[in-house]
Amino acid sequence: MTSPLRSLALACAVVVVLASCKKQEQQQAMPPPEVGVLQAQPQTVPLERELVGRLSAFRSADVRARVPGVLEKRLYTEGTDVKEGQPLFQIDPAPLRATLASAQGQLAAAEATYANAKAAAARARSLAPQAYVSKSDLDNAEATERSSAASVQQARAAVETARINLGYATVTAPIAGRAGKQQVTEGALVGQGDSTLLTTIDQLDPLYVNFSMSSDELAQLRQAQTEGNVALNAEDKSTVQIKLGDGSTYAHAGTLDFSGAAVDPSTGSVTLRALLPNPDRVLLPGAFVSFSANLGQRKDVYLIPQAAVLRDAKGAYALVVGKDSKVVRKDLTTVGQQGDKWIVSSGLQNGDQVVVSGLPKVKEGAPAVAKPWDPNAAAQGQGPGAGAAPSQGAQGAAAPAKGAAPAQGAAHGDSPDAASHSDQPKQ
């Protein structure tokens, strides 16, 4: 009995060993998973900032009464565009005409006096050599001539002043632009003791966009430019793109035309200004606007899809298929977004095969087969790793690096078009 039982036990052991070996062979025979990879290539991308500013008129002029009188009538339609020199108001010209007539009469009298004094001085000079006129009388005659000539000049200036004041009775537009509301009604006495405000004209094309930036941020950008990582534009090459209230983009881009030379001690910021075309008068002074400012270019950075950038307690990272077909982790530094991609400033090398799809099927140190990632196929649920549920690490794909705003829905690869494209340097 002992021998058959021993033989049976031995046979069972052999079967178990063979089954175990077969299972190991099957596991070893399973091929490594396929993943979609993007080959990292250094690029130059725009250096953009999302900012808020306030619009102001290119030129703004107060229209005031420059002479005293009664306001007779308004000659323009409120809220319409006027041309430079266009009549806007009429002040009663009658008193000013009388003043001009009086000045002209005084000029005529002064000219007559001067003519008489000139003739008397000429006679005295002709008689002086024969001693018919004393030296004292000659001096008096010549002094009277000079005094009369000065009186003529003074009278002429009074006539010119009266003529100018009469012209001021018709109040004209000092600049071209949109005339505002009438501030004084007809029949009111204006210009009595001070220059009464009648209306205001604002030039609406172009407009200024006034905004500010942190002095620390500007210092970081200039430091990055010194190191060669950033190329800042000249003022007239830096552009701004306004976003309208309905979310659409304004048709005309503006250009930076002023940068403050001092820091505001109360805010720690530097004032900047952009010039914005406004041919259709769509934008109005005083309004707050959000805009994207293109300040230059970032050099040698990588644009990596948000789905490929993961995050854990150590920070942002990506999985890369190495030359030995093993998956390795690479820690990243992100400095902002462009569309649905992160801008990576460090952590990658030219030619790195960054895993974009199939992340749940691989882990660090495991082998993987790299296939070119097709964003169109991935969007349609095809290609390597398409349709797989995201791993815990992939759910943090859109988590931003320090100083970068996350895009809503980016954890699942959605395009963050509605998100801020802030591009802040790593501190």
Each residue of 136-157: pLDDT tens digit? 888 888 899 999 999 999 999 9
Q: Where in the chain is the domain with CATH 1.10.287?
A: 93-168
Model pLDDT, residue 10:
65
In 139-191, the DSSP E strands lie at 170-172, 177-179, 189-190
What class, spelled out in words, does domain 93-168 have in CATH? mainly alpha
pLDDT at 400: 45
| 97-106, 271-280, 407-416: the lowest-pLDDT one | 407-416
**Long-range CB contacts for residues 241-247, cutoff 8 Å, separation at least 24:** 241/291, 241/292, 241/294, 242/209, 242/276, 242/283, 242/289, 242/290, 242/291, 243/289, 243/290, 243/291, 243/292
Whether residue 327 contacts residue 355, with contact meaning beta carbons closer than 8 Å, is answered with yes
Is the confidence at residue 2, as pLDDT, over 80? no
**Highest-confidence segment of 101-115, 287-301, 334-348, 403-417:** 101-115
**Does 312 score more than 70 pLDDT?**
yes
List where CATH 2.40.420.20 sits in the chain.
Answer: 37-47+214-253+291-412
For domain 37-47+214-253+291-412, give its CATH number from 1.20.59.10, 3.40.50.2300, 2.40.10.10, 2.40.420.20.
2.40.420.20
Tokens of 15: 């079967």
| Cβ contacts of 229 within 8 Å, gap of 6 or more | 298, 299, 300, 345
Give the per-residue pLDDT at 215.
Answer: 84
Q: For residue 31, what pLDDT band results from cuts at 50, 70 and 90?
A: confident
Q: Give domain 66-90+171-195's CATH architecture.
A: Beta Barrel (2.40)
Of 23, 171, 206, give the one whose Cα is nearest residue 91.
171
User: Mean pLDDT of all residues in the chain?
Assistant: 82
pTM: 0.65
Alpha-carbon separation of residue 186 from 37, 182, 239 (angstroms): 77, 10, 46
150 SS3 class: helix
* Cα dihedral 286, 287, 290, 294 sign: negative
Domain with CATH 2.40.50.100 in the chain: 66-90+171-195
pLDDT at residue 175, rounded to an integer: 96
State how far the Cα of 277 lies from the Cα of 279, in Å rounded to an integer: 6
